[in-house]
Chain A
């Protein structure tokens, strides 16, 4: 069976709920999920927690998480909390 990639746009106003919903819909059949962060200018601690939780769920379901459109400020935050290794990034 071929790899299925799922693409989801993340809205800055509701990063946590968007990630929770995305996590609930994570399907092992999908080999990869792409989260579009291009409209997220900043993240807060709750968003970071949601990202950690999402990465954990994705790991359990063997789904690769790809973040696209992450701005450099958010990327630096992910670096500082050592989260970059949990995701793949598309520039």
Chain B
């Protein structure tokens, strides 16, 4: 803040307490102890209590504004008495105006929409270092802030402003205690040594150091290891741009730079003036009482008021009148000269007057263009003023904003005086302060105008929010025998039927074709019956473009429908980057990538499943194989969901037994996993439970009697209903295990699911070794959900554990009926081979996103254990250690 402070304090290091005698230590301990007691007692005070104390303190400060200013002038010999009176009044009246209605005790702010409450916690004991430049105003300001926030302060004033500060502290303390503040709330060090400061800065009961002063004091505060508010020096650049109101600008700069003889560290230091207005500006300054130095005088001034060794200002000039400085250096000026203005031609040590000058000497620089002006301002900003204050006078909003971007200053004052503007609440809506945070540029922890909130620990009371959930499915689903006829109602000029060779061969594609209006141009896109490959899909997109399709009918199993979803995406939004869209995510609503909403084409997607398992006709998922890169791309977004689903059992009547079993168990796994998922909701539960009921009842019939129309129809519905559940609740660890195992050993997805299913039910029903964080569920309920399923199936039993075991047994019976292998071993995989593979399988399963909605967080060891259980086979899974034995 002050150059001569800086010079003095450059020598300052943090000495230890070794040099303090026992008496002095006892004295310091007593001060801190009193303050600690006061702060502790203060913690019981209400908002009303502190407000009752603050107001009389402010009135006392106002009453003594003049006497304290006089004391400060007499003691420091710096500044202007009248201006110091104003400072004392701003420090009390303006600060009071800002704090009077602010809550600083208990709950201080509430955000009902965020379920958040902020609660104030006092800091405790604050060690406050106050400067020579604004001694009494800083004390008044800090006392008011401290009481408002229920803190106690030990003051350590600048040694050359000790008397006036002690008096200010005394006035504040006496008034505060008289109105109920705890005794000991403020104390002031009697006399002052650097050793005292060092001792106090390290004291365990000092909670915060608030150091307003020179760089030495600030550095010492930050070096102490204590939390600190350190606010230090500045070097305020001013850009006087050609569009500015010159009259206002010149008067404002004179007001600011001469205020208290320039002792406020936010005051203007170098004014960069556009070439076009330079001469007029200087003329205006001269008319209003400034002395414009010629080159020779400027050099003389630079040599005299700036220390050539340190590049800092000479202490003798600080806070002195322009005429005093002129007389001192032998400069002849008019007796009413307010300001000495010296042209400079650059910034830095070679241009001494570009440094901070806390006295009425102002450097001016002639800039040829905006670019040059901004650069010079940046130079001044970086020459000791980083993070502090800058000023611009301009009517050009673009230039003002640019200035705000390139200048690093906590306060950028626009079209008003820098010093008084930075103090806040006079010329602008900045928070009133006597301590300017300078951010990291100034080695400070804040860029704020230090205020009451810096004297508080603000606690956030965060209530649990009720997470928003969703249930999204295609808005049209047609089901039951011959539902395909509904295709007729959808108008289309050009339709592409996407299917596979087998379905084309057995005439399914023709059935669909006959349901399309004769006016529609229909084309067939036959793709291989396997997980869609990128190339196949992109080729098919070309067909869509060629025929200008407005409707896509996907007829097939999951792979055909998935292919059609991706075709539609690339047809409508050719720019869609499938790799990017497949980026992993934790929460669908917070994912990084966004699916395209701009569409160059539009096509309706009608999905007609020909298997009863994947449910792809209603899901927002699609899996693509990128053979060139040897990887799978999984896409998930509700924009992928088909527009229409047609669940017509005529297309599954000829499904072979094995496929019936595989897809049926896939459907059951979807429903069971969605049922216990952390994303489960009453909406998904109703679908999951109904699907489970249908599978247990009709899958064995459909398996044994493939032509049973009712069983086929209800299993076809079950697959779709389960898919509606898992589209919104997702799946779980069973799928993660099955994906890894199925891919490694080329085992059909449903079959792989079946091998894991009983073991996963037992696993999820037990007390988790690690719970999965979930804002969507309250408590651990997976075991209860399974018990509810057991009840739904009428399996009997009393306790939750018994019910879970009944469900496991019923699942195993179903798998036996469907003639699934009972174990991985039964697939002919040797124990040795499996043992070699299991660690990699566990890693792959762990990387699978499916388990993220599982109620229990699977640990790597647990995944391995589950694989081994599946290897050993059915008849072993038992629910043990469910969270609590209870009936549902």
A and B co-occur in one complex: yes
- A-side residues, CB < 8 A to B, are 42-45, 48-49, 73-74, 76-78, 80-81
Residues of A within 8 A of B116 (CB): none
Q: Which residues of B contact A (CB under 8 A)?
A: 34, 36-41, 43-44, 124, 182-184
Q: Could you say which residues of chain A place their CB within 8 Å of the CB of B37?
A: 45, 48-49, 81
Give every chain A residue within 8 A of B38 (Cβ-Cβ). Answer: 45
Residues from chain A with a CB closer than 8 A to the CB of B39 are 80
A76 in contact with B41 (CB, 8 Å): no
* Least distance between B116 CB and chain A CB atoms (Å): 23
Q: Bound complex: CA of A74 vs CA of B36, how far in Å?
A: 15
| Complex partner residue of B124 from A43, A73, A80, CB under 8 angstroms | A80
- A residues less than 8 Å from B124 (CB atoms): 80
A43 to B34: give the CA distance in the assembly, Å.
15
B43 touches A81 (CB 8 A): no
The reply to whether A44 and B36 contact each other, CB–CB distance below 8 Å, is no
Q: Enumerate chain A residues within 8 angstroms of B36, measured Cβ to Cβ.
A: 80-81
Which residue from chain A places its CB closest to the CB of B183 in the assembled complex? A45
Which chain B residue has the least Cβ–Cβ distance from A49? B37
Cβ–Cβ contact A74 & B40, under 8 A:
no
Please tell me if the beta carbons of B182 and A77 are within 8 angstroms of each other in the complex. Answer: no
| Pairs across A and B, CB under 8 Å, 24 listed | A42-B41, A42-B44, A43-B41, A43-B44, A44-B182, A45-B34, A45-B37, A45-B38, A45-B41, A45-B182, A45-B183, A48-B37, A48-B40, A49-B37, A73-B44, A76-B40, A76-B43, A77-B40, A77-B43, A77-B44, A78-B40, A80-B124, A81-B36, A81-B37
Count of A-B contacts judged by CB separation below 8 Å: 35
**In the complex, chain B residues whose CB is within 8 Å of the CB of A74:** 44
CA–CA, A81 to B38, complex, Å? Answer: 9
Chain B residues with CB under 8 A of A76: 40, 43
Chain B, residue nearest A44 (CB):
B41
A46 to chain B, nearest CB (A): 8
For A78, give the chain B residue with the smallest CB separation.
Answer: B40
* CA–CA, A42 and B44, complex, Å: 7
Tell me the bound Cα distance from A76 to B40 in angstroms.
8
Distance (whole angstroms) from the CB of B149 to the closest CB of chain A: 15
Q: Which residue of B is nearest A52, CB measured?
A: B37
Residues in B neighbouring A81, C-beta threshold 8 A:
36-37, 40
By beta carbon, the residue of chain A nearest B205 is A82
**Measured CA separation A48–B36 after assembly (Å):** 11
Residue picked from A48, A76, A78, most chain B C-beta under 10 Å: A48
Chain A proximity of B43: nearest CB distance (Å): 6
CA distance A48 to B43 in the complex (A): 14
Give the residues in chain A near B182, CB-CB below 8 Å.
44-45
Bound complex: CA of A49 vs CA of B39, how far in Å?
A: 14
Q: Which residue of B has the minimal Cβ distance to A47?
A: B41
- CB neighbours of B183 from chain A (8 A): 45
* Cβ–Cβ < 8 Å partners of A49 in chain B: 37
Nearest B residue to A41, CB-CB: B44
Further contacts, 20 of them, CB under 8 A, given A77-B44, A80-B124:
A44-B41, A44-B182, A45-B37, A45-B38, A45-B41, A45-B182, A45-B184, A48-B41, A49-B37, A73-B43, A73-B44, A74-B44, A76-B40, A76-B43, A77-B40, A77-B43, A78-B40, A80-B36, A80-B39, A81-B36
Residue of A nearest to B49 (CB): A42
A62 to chain B, nearest CB (A): 26
Nearest A residue to B124 via CB reads A80
Residues from chain B with a CB closer than 8 A to the CB of A73 are 43-44
Closest chain-A Cβ to B529's Cβ sits at a distance in Å of 71
Expressed in whole angstroms, the Cα–Cα distance for A76 and B124 within the complex equals: 12
Q: Which residue of A lies closest to B38 (CB)?
A: A45
A43, A76, A80: most-surrounded residue (chain B CB, <10 A) = A80
Shortest Cβ gap from B147 to chain A (Å): 15
- Chain B residue nearest to A43 (CB atoms) is B41
Looking at the assembled complex, report how far the CB atom of B806 sits from the nearest CB atom of chain A, in whole angstroms: 47
Task: Please give the distance in Å from A41's CB to the nearest CB on chain B.
Answer: 8
Q: List A contacts of B34 (CB < 8 A).
A: 45
- In the complex, which residues of chain B have a beta carbon less than 8 angstroms from the beta carbon of A42? 41, 44
Q: With the chains together, A80 CA to B39 CA distance in Å?
A: 8
A47 vs chain B, min Cβ distance (A): 9
What's the nearest-Cβ distance from chain B to residue A63, in Å?
Answer: 24
Give Cα A42 to B45, complex, Å.
Answer: 9
- Residues of chain B lying within 8 A (CB to CB) of residue A43: 41, 44
* Residues on the A chain within 8 Å of B44, using CB: 42-43, 73-74, 77
CA distance A45 to B41 in the complex (A): 7
Question: Which 5 A-B residue pairings sit nearest by Cβ, starting from the closest?
Answer: A80-B40, A77-B40, A81-B40, A42-B44, A45-B37
Residues of B within 8 A of A48 (CB): 37, 40-41
Nearest-neighbour CB distance to chain B for A53, whole angstroms, equals 13
A73 to B42 alpha-carbon distance, docked (Å)? 11
Assembly CA distance A23 to B183 (angstroms): 24
A42 to B46: give the CA distance in the assembly, Å.
11
B782 CB to nearest A CB, Å: 38
List B contacts of A80 (CB < 8 A): 36, 39-40, 43, 124
CB distance from B107 to the nearest CB of A (A): 15
